[in-house]
Homo-oligomer: A and B are copies of this chain.
């Protein structure tokens, strides 16, 4: 009967992941709505903000999507002046992506809403619990490679 209880606990963990992730993305989705943007744009803004001068193929590798899937949202972000494109000096084939001032403002707004949400939770549970959480999440993220 112990095994049944454990199975139930593991099912609860599945639901925790589902509901926590949904709650986590809800705020950013709400902000994006006002700009008529979606999660695809958010991911691009985030990773370009995190890694200035990122090349397009690096972005594709990170997001694990096809270049056709990246094309439309990226083109829109460039057209709307949120992301700038520049040809690399060392390799004229590759293009480097950066956030513009406007792009950075939006990215900052999105990221801040999420870091505040996380900071609030972390402050309630304490540093040790935060560290444990990070450890579990890091191992989980890693378990793709064990697939």
Contacts and interface: CB of A to CB of B under 8 A. Distances in A.
Interface of A: 6-7, 10-17, 19-24, 26-27, 30, 46, 50, 64, 111, 114-115, 117-122, 124-125, 128-130, 132-144, 147
B141 A13 contact: no
Contacts of A11: 50, 111, 115
B141 A20 contact: yes
Given A21-B21, A121-B136, A130-B132, 14 more contacts: A6-B119, A10-B115, A10-B119, A11-B111, A13-B118, A16-B134, A19-B141, A23-B140, A26-B144, A118-B140, A121-B143, A130-B136, A132-B132, A133-B137
A125 B111 CA distance: 29
Residue among A50, A125, A139 facing the most chain B CB atoms (10 A cut-off): A139
Contacts of A138: 16, 20
Majority DSSP secondary structure for residues of A touching B: helix
Nearest to A12: B134
Contacts of A129: 132, 135-136
